[in-house]
Structure 1
Amino acid sequence: MPLIQRHVIGVDVGTASVRAGVFDLSGRLLGVATQDITVYRSADGHVEQSSSEIWRAVCMTVRSASSVAGIAAEKIEGIGFDATCSLVVLGADENGLPVGDPQHPDRDIVVWMDHRAMRQAERINAGRHAVLRFVGGTISPEMQMPKLLWLKEHRRAVYDAASHFMDLVDFLTFRATGSLQRSSCPLTCKWNHLGHEGRWDEDYLQAIGLGELADDLSRIGQEIVVAGTPLSRGLTVEAAAQLGLRPGTPVAAGLIDAHAGGIGTVGATGDVTGNLAYVFGTSACTMTTTTGPVFVPGVWGPYFSAMVPGLWLNEGGQSAAGAAIEHLLSLHPAHAEATTLATAAGLSLPDWLVQQALADLGERPNEDLVERLCGLHIVPEFLGNRAPHADPRARAVVCGLGMERDVSSLVTLYLAGVCAIGYGLRQIIDTQAVHGADIERVMISGGAGRSSVARQFLADAARRPIVTVTCEEPVLLGSAILGAVAAGAFDDVATAMRAMSHVCEITQPSSTWKEVHEQRFTMFGRLQALSRVGRDS
C-alpha cells in the first residue's frame, strides 16, 4: 500500500499545551488539534501540573485531530508520544500524589522548569560521582534525581507512598498500554541511568541519599527500551475508548519533546551527525548526534541511544528561550499596546513585531534590521544557563536600554532578544566543536523556525545555516515516526526518519554584518562573566 494511504498519530505534550497530529507515512500532516493545559506556579517558585488533566487533553486532541484529518480509527496503524521531562508521582492505586501543597492533590507533576531542588542538585554535584561525567559534569535541578531528593526531604509521606516515579512521557505510555516499560530517552537523559551499560548505578543512588530506590528499582524503572519499541499489546480497551482508536493499536516507547523534534528533523539531509537539532520553544534544546561518546563540559551527555537508537547524543540548550523573549517584552512600557494591536491583527506578538520591523525597513530601504540593535545588548538568562556554563543561578542582563516607550523600541528589543538567543546557541556549538562534536548545520523546529527574520538572525548570530523541514510540526512528526516504527511500517527509526522528514528551506549566514555580530558576541560573553562576578555583591 502506498505510504500516503497509511496513517499514524503523534502526540506532543509541551509545557503549556497538548497537540496531536495525524500523518501519512510520507510525513505529510493531515490534521492537527491543540488543547491548552494548566501550569500552576506558587509564590515559592514551584511549578506543577496535573497528570489527569494532561491525559484528558491527550484524549481530546487525538479525537479532534482524527476528525480534522477525516481518518477512521481502524486506519490508524500506530501512535507515538513525546512530553516535557517533568516528574509524575503515582501512588499504589496508580493515581497521582501531591508534589507540593497537600490541598491540591491533583497536582502530581513537578514541571521540568521547577527549580525547587537547587540545593539538592548542588549537594549531588559536590559528591563528584563518576555518573556525573554523563551529564557534562554537573547535574541540573531540572533533572529528576534532585527533585526526588527534594521530595524525600520535604514531602516524606508522599515520597514513601509513591509506587512509581515516572517521566511524563512514560506516564503517557503507561496510561495508554498499562506497560511499566520505560523509554531509555528520559531515563538516560534525566535520571542518570547508564544507557550504554544498561544499568542503574546503585552506588550512586546510595551516595546521594536515595538508597531505597536502589533497593526497589521498580519505582523508577526496571525494563528499559529504546524509543519506537512497541509496548505491551498496544492500546488497552479503556485507553482506546478514551482516545477514539481501536484496541491493540501499537504504541511506541516515547521521547522527551525536544528529542522528538530531533527525530523529526535531523534525518532530512541524510547526514544525521552533521546536523544539530534545535528545538526553540518555551526553552530551547540542542541535540547533537555522534557515532562515539564525546564528553563536553557543561553539555549533558554523552547519552547512548537516547534519541537515535544506536548513536550517542549530547544535549545542550537554554533554560528559557521563547519564555525569555516573552518575559523580556513584558517589561517594556509598550507591551500592552502592542499585544492589543497584535491580537486585533490575529497574530502572535512576536509575529506582529516582525511585521512592524519589516514595515519600518520598507520605509528606510538603505538600512538593515541589524542597525537597530546598535548599543543594545541582552543576555536573556532569566532562568539560568543550561549550557555550556551549567549555571542555574545565572540571571539576565540588559545593557543599553534607554527611556523610549514606543512600539518601535519594543520591536528593537525583540530583535535584540532573538539575536541574543543566537549567541547562546553559538556558545554551545563552539564549545562542542572544541571537544570533538562539531556540526555543519542547525535543523530548527518550534515557533522561531516559522519566522524568516528570526531564522536569519539565528543563522548570523550562530554562524551556521538554519534548515527547516517541510512539516510545520516537526516535534509531532518525531512522535509519529516512533508510532510508525512501532507499527512495523519501517524497520527502524533511522529508516523512518529518512522517509518522513524532508528539507524545506536553508537560511545561510550573511556576510554583511559578520564583524558586527562578532563584536556583539564578544560583548555577550563579557556581560555573562560580569553578571557572575556581580550577582553575589
Structure 2
Amino acid sequence: MSDNTYFVGVDVGTGSARAALVDLKGKVLQQHVKAIQTWNSERDHYEQSSEDIWNAVCHCVKIVTKDINKEYVKAISFDATCSLVVLDKKGEPLTVSRTNENERNIILWMDHRAQAEAALINATKHELLQYVGGQVSLEMEIPKLLWLKGNIKSTWNKIWRAFDLPDFLTWRSTGVDTRSLCSVVCKWNYDAMNMRWSVDFLKQIGLDDLCVNNFEIIGQRICEPGAAVGAGLTEQAAKDLSLLPGTIVGTSLIDAHAGALGMFGCRAALEASDKLLETSLDDLQGKMALICGTSTCHMSLTRDPCLAHGVWGPYRGAILPDYFLSEGGQSAAGILLDFVVKSHTQYTNIQAKLGKNEHIYTYLNNLLEKMCSERKCGDICYLTKDLHVWPDFHGNRSPIADPNLRGMISGLNMNADEESLALLYLAFVQALAYGTRHIIDNLVEKYKRVPYSSMLFCGGLAKNNVYVQAHADICQLPAVIPNEQEMVLVGAAMLGACAAKAYETLEITSKEMGGTGVLLKPKASTKDYHNRKYRVFLQMLEDQRKYKEIMEK
C-alpha cells in the first residue's frame, strides 16, 4: 500500500465517541471527540441511545476525514463499551427503561440492575461459568437480557436483535448481521472452546427464547476480530459518515480489548543498559496490558488456557488467533479517583487557581513531591505510611468477583487542607496498584500462569506518571507507556488495516502499528515498604469479611 493509505478507528467509551485518522505505522494524524448522553433515572440504572451514539460517531468521522481524499481511506473499524443494544424488527430502538422512552435502548456496561439475575445464573454452577472466573458478572449481557425478560415484557416480546454495542456499530455500517468473537465470548457466555451457543445453558437459566431460529436474536455468524464484514459500508452508512460506499469494515473489538491489541505490539525504547530486558519485553505471554479509564481492564495472553477464579477467560481467539485471553479488572478506577478528589473540601479551591491547561492531578503530584522534599521522605510513597485504602467502592471484579464488597479507609484525621487531599489521592492510587498486584499474584502463584515480565499502559490514567510508577514499584515490573497515547483508537484502526490486508495477520498488524514507548523501571528501594502495605491491603479484605460475618449473625 502507498503512503496515502489511511484507516479510521472509532472508539465509543462511557461518556463520548471518538474517531481517529491513522496511518500505516499506527500514528494518529487527526482525532475528534463528541460527548454522548447517559441517563441515570434509577439507582444502578445507566442507559444510552444507539441513535445518539451513531450520530456522534458520524460527526467525529466526518471531522477527521474532511481534509483528505476519501479514496485514501481504505478501511474503518469500531470498538465500544460492552453495552447491550436492543432493536425491533425495523431495526429501530426498543426501550430498556421503565420510563418507556424508546430512545433509551442501551443498558450501559456499568449498569448494575441485574444483580438478582446474575445470582440466579451463578447458582446453576453451569460448566460455562468456569470461563468467567467461576461466576457471571452482572455487567455482562446475559444477566441484563434476563432482567429485560422479567421486567419489561413489552420490549422482550418485540426484540429482533440484541447486539453488543461494537457489533451494533458494525451492523449499522454494513447492514450485515455478524457478531465479533470478542464480544460474544467475553460478554455473552458463548462457548469458544466448541465455537457454539450452549442450548443447555440458555434453557437452564430461562432464556430458551434466544435459541429460536438458530439463535438469530443474539447472532448466527461469529467473526474473528479484524475480519472484513460484508461488502463494506452501505450507501446510507457511507453518506452518514461522508466516506465512500464499499469502504472496508473490519470486525470490531470491545474498547478495552482494542487498547490491548494496540499495545501488545508496542516496543519499549531501550537504552544500551536495558538490552537484557529486550527479550522478556518482547514476550507476548509476559505482557499485561492495562487499559486505564473509568474502570481498568487487565488483559494478558497465553498459548495455553489458564482458568482462574475471579478472572474472566480463558477466551480463545478473543483478541488474537491461537492465544487465550485472561481478563481481570477494577470496576472503578478513574471514576474512583475523581470521586475522592471532587468530594474533598479543597477541590473547589484548587480548581480555582489552576492554569488554563493544568489538571488537578498534576497539581497534586507536584504537591506530593514538595511534601516529600520538605519531610525528607526520599520517595512520595512513604507519605502514606499510616493511610491505607481498600478501593472497591463499586464492588470487586477481580480477583474476588464480589460486587458487594465496599471501600475502606484506615488512618483518617480531621485535617482538611490541600495536603490531606494529596495524601488521600496518593493512598487511592496506591490501592489501585495493590489491586493490580492482587490480580497478578492470584494468576501466577495460585493458578500457575506464565509469569509476567512487563506491564503496558494506555487510557487517561496512563498520562499520570504517579499512577504508572506506583504500579511498577508495587508489582515490581517494568512499565511501558506507548508514545502514541491513543492506543484504543490505534487498536480500532488495526482491525480495519487487517481487514484491508495491509498486513498479513492481526498479530503482525499489531507489531507494525504498535510503535514504541517509554520504559519506567520499578524502584527496588521501595519494595519492602510496598510489601508491608500490601499485607495491610489484604488484611483489610479479611477485616471487611469479619465485619459482614458479625452483622449477618
TM-score range, shorter-chain basis? over 0.9
Residue of 396, 401, 406 corresponding to 1:385: 396
Give structure 2 stretches of 5+ with no counterpart.
268-281
Instruction: Return 525-534 or 206-215, whichever deviates more.
Output: 525-534
Provide the rounded CA distance (Å) in 2 between the counterparts of 1:142 and 1:510. 36
Instruction: Return 363-372 or 301-310, whichever deviates more.
Output: 363-372
Question: In structure 1, the residue corresponding to 2:249 is in which secondary structure?
Answer: coil
Residue of 217, 220, 245 corresponding to 1:219: 217
Q: Does 1:339 align with 2:351?
A: yes
Q: How does 1:507-526 map to 2 (within 5 A)?
A: 507-526=520-539
Match of 2:231 in 1: 233
Provide the rounded CA distance (Å) in 2 between the counterparts of 1:304 and 1:42. 37
Match of 2:55 in 1: 56
Instruction: Return 121-130 or 433-442, whichever deviates more.
Output: 433-442
Q: Does 1:474 align with 2:487?
A: yes
Shift of 1:244: 1.4
Provide the rounded CA distance (Å) in 2 between the counterparts of 1:196 and 1:512. 45
Shift of 1:18: 1.0
Provide the rounded CA distance (Å) in 2 between the counterparts of 1:61 and 1:526. 47
Shift of 1:333: 1.5
Letter paired with 1:241: K
Question: In structure 2, the residue corresponding to 1:392 is in which secondary structure?
Answer: coil
Q: Does 1:424 align with 2:435?
A: yes
Shift of 1:363: 5.2
What are the Cα deviations for residues 285-314 of structure 1, in whole angstroms up to 9, with x where unaligned? 011101121111111111011111221111
- Alpha carbons of structure 1 residues 436 and 503: separation in structure 2 relative to 1, 3 Å: farther
Letter paired with 2:348: A
Q: Does structure 2 conserve the Cα–Cα contact (< 8 Å) formed by 1:470 and 1:501?
A: no
Shift of 1:54: 0.6
Shift of 1:21: 0.8
Letter paired with 1:503: T
Match of 1:182 in 2: 179
Match of 1:315 in 2: 327
What are the Cα deviations for residues 324-374 of structure 1, in whole angstroms up to 9, with x where unaligned? 1111223321122223334x4423332332233334445566642112212
Shift of 1:40: 1.3
Match of 1:532 in 2: 545
What are the Cα deviations for residues 200-248 of structure 1, in whole angstroms up to 9, with x where unaligned? 0100000001011122400000100111011111011111111111111
Question: In structure 2, the residue corresponding to 1:40 is in which secondary structure?
Answer: coil
Match of 2:189 in 1: 192
Residue of 425, 437, 455 corresponding to 1:442: 455
Q: Does structure 1 conserve the Cα–Cα contact (< 8 Å) formed by 2:49 and 2:106?
A: yes
Provide the rounded CA distance (Å) in 1 between the counterparts of 2:318 and 2:90. 30
Q: Does 1:289 align with 2:288?
A: no
Match of 2:279 in 1: none
Match of 2:288 in 1: 276
Question: In structure 2, the residue corresponding to 1:81 is in which secondary structure?
Answer: strand
Q: How does 1:386-401 map to 2 (within 5 A)?
A: 386-401=397-412
Provide the rounded CA distance (Å) in 1 between the counterparts of 2:115 and 2:452. 32
Q: Does structure 1 conserve the Cα–Cα contact (< 8 Å) formed by 2:86 and 2:161?
A: yes
Shift of 1:444: 0.8
Shift of 1:449: 1.2
Provide the rounded CA distance (Å) in 1 between the counterparts of 2:431 and 2:34. 31
Q: Does structure 2 conserve the Cα–Cα contact (< 8 Å) formed by 1:378 and 1:417?
A: yes
Match of 2:418 in 1: 407
Residue of 104, 108, 125 corresponding to 2:105: 108
Match of 1:35 in 2: 34
Residue of 207, 210, 225 corresponding to 1:210: 207
- Alpha carbons of structure 1 residues 103 and 404: separation in structure 2 relative to 1, 3 Å: same
- Alpha carbons of structure 1 residues 146 and 366: separation in structure 2 relative to 1, 3 Å: closer
Q: Does structure 1 conserve the Cα–Cα contact (< 8 Å) formed by 2:98 and 2:152?
A: no
Q: How does 1:122-201 map to 2 (within 5 A)?
A: 122-201=119-198
Letter paired with 1:393: N
Question: In structure 2, the residue corresponding to 1:254 is in which secondary structure?
Answer: strand
Provide the rounded CA distance (Å) in 1 between the counterparts of 2:160 and 2:75. 29
The ranges of structure 1 where at least 4 consecutive aligned residues each deviate by more than 4 angstroms after the TM superposition are: 359-366
Letter paired with 1:471: E
Letter paired with 2:493: A
Question: In structure 2, the residue corresponding to 1:252 is in which secondary structure?
Answer: strand
- Alpha carbons of structure 1 residues 44 and 364: separation in structure 2 relative to 1, 3 Å: closer
Residue of 111, 115, 119 corresponding to 2:116: 119
Provide the rounded CA distance (Å) in 2 between the counterparts of 1:204 and 1:88. 22
Match of 2:365 in 1: 354
- Alpha carbons of structure 1 residues 181 and 408: separation in structure 2 relative to 1, 3 Å: same
Provide the rounded CA distance (Å) in 1 between the counterparts of 2:374 and 2:76. 50
Match of 2:275 in 1: none
- Alpha carbons of structure 1 residues 374 and 96: separation in structure 2 relative to 1, 3 Å: same
Provide the rounded CA distance (Å) in 2 between the counterparts of 1:71 and 1:457. 42
Shift of 1:532: 2.7
Q: Does 1:12 align with 2:11?
A: yes
Match of 2:278 in 1: none
Q: Does structure 2 conserve the Cα–Cα contact (< 8 Å) formed by 1:285 and 1:317?
A: yes
Q: Does structure 1 conserve the Cα–Cα contact (< 8 Å) formed by 2:228 and 2:251?
A: yes
Provide the rounded CA distance (Å) in 2 between the counterparts of 1:359 and 1:97. 54
What are the Cα deviations for residues 362-389 of structure 1, in whole angstroms up to 9, with x where unaligned? 5566642112212111111111100000
Provide the rounded CA distance (Å) in 1 between the counterparts of 2:514 and 2:51. 32
Provide the rounded CA distance (Å) in 1 between the counterparts of 2:353 and 2:190. 49
Q: Does structure 1 conserve the Cα–Cα contact (< 8 Å) formed by 2:87 and 2:105?
A: yes
Provide the rounded CA distance (Å) in 2 between the counterparts of 1:152 and 1:16. 27
Match of 1:500 in 2: 513
Q: How does 1:25-104 map to 2 (within 5 A)?
A: 25-67=24-66, 70-104=67-101
The number of residue pairs the alignment matches comes to 533
Provide the rounded CA distance (Å) in 2 between the counterparts of 1:491 and 1:199. 27
Q: Does structure 1 conserve the Cα–Cα contact (< 8 Å) formed by 2:477 and 2:522?
A: yes
Letter paired with 2:223: V
Letter paired with 1:140: S
Q: Does structure 2 conserve the Cα–Cα contact (< 8 Å) formed by 1:426 and 1:463?
A: no
Question: In structure 2, the residue corresponding to 1:113 is in which secondary structure?
Answer: coil
Provide the rounded CA distance (Å) in 2 between the counterparts of 1:262 and 1:142. 20
Question: In structure 2, the residue corresponding to 1:464 is in which secondary structure?
Answer: coil
Question: In structure 1, the residue corresponding to 2:325 is in which secondary structure?
Answer: strand
Question: In structure 1, the residue corresponding to 2:263 is in which secondary structure?
Answer: coil
Instruction: Return 486-495 or 39-48, whichever deviates more.
Output: 39-48
Letter paired with 2:346: A
Q: Does structure 2 conserve the Cα–Cα contact (< 8 Å) formed by 1:325 and 1:380?
A: no
Residue of 437, 449, 454 corresponding to 2:467: 454
